[in-house]
Amino acid sequence: MDNHEKRVLHLLDSAELTKSFTEDDIDEFARLTLDDNGMHTNAELARRGLFRRPVVHGVFVGSLISSVMGTKLPGHGTVLQKMDCKYTNPVYPGDEVTARVVLESVEEKEKYYIASLQGMCFNQDGITVAEATCKQLLLKRFFEVIE
């Protein structure tokens, strides 16, 4: 994005991205976040748990929604203010998850907008695995919102 170029957004704009989660991804996420809970990283322990096998960290899955907001909609130059995420179904190593975000509404301030966005993640079978309501700060020098 050029310093003089504003990105124009419209209500109900949407964007998405897709990621396949690997065991290596889970191990790396556990290392980076210090969350080595065996339900994610230990097959023997997970086998005795609710899902009978390791699951991807919920926050890792939900972070795809943040990734869409930070890179695609609204995009570069935004800051996440709030994200309320509900994890509805497990994600397993090997699953492919698509995160989709929709721009629902915008509150205009003097120098910025507060965008309200709905996010959803679903797996390769179309099953919803996470849902989120989010607030994102958009500086007016980077964005213009048309309703």
Could you tell me if residue 1 is inside a domain?
Answer: no
Condensed to tens digits (0 to 9), the pLDDT of residues 12-53 reads 999 999 999 999 999 999 999 998 988 898 888 888 988 899
Q: Which domain holds residue 131?
A: 7-21+56-146
Checking if the pLDDT of 123 tops 90, the result is yes
Could you tell me if residue 43 is inside a domain?
Answer: no
Could you tell me if residue 29 is inside a domain?
Answer: no
Could you tell me if residue 110 is inside a domain?
Answer: yes
Question: What is the CATH number for 70?
Answer: 3.10.129.10
Could you tell me if residue 88 is inside a domain?
Answer: yes
Checking if the pLDDT of 76 tops 50, the result is yes
Cβ atoms of 92 and 56 closer than 8 Å: yes
Alpha-carbon distance 21 to 56, whole Å? 8
Q: How many domains does the chain have?
A: 1
Could you tell me if residue 31 is inside a domain?
Answer: no
Helix (H, G, I), strand (E, B) or coil at 17: strand
Quote the pTM value: 0.90
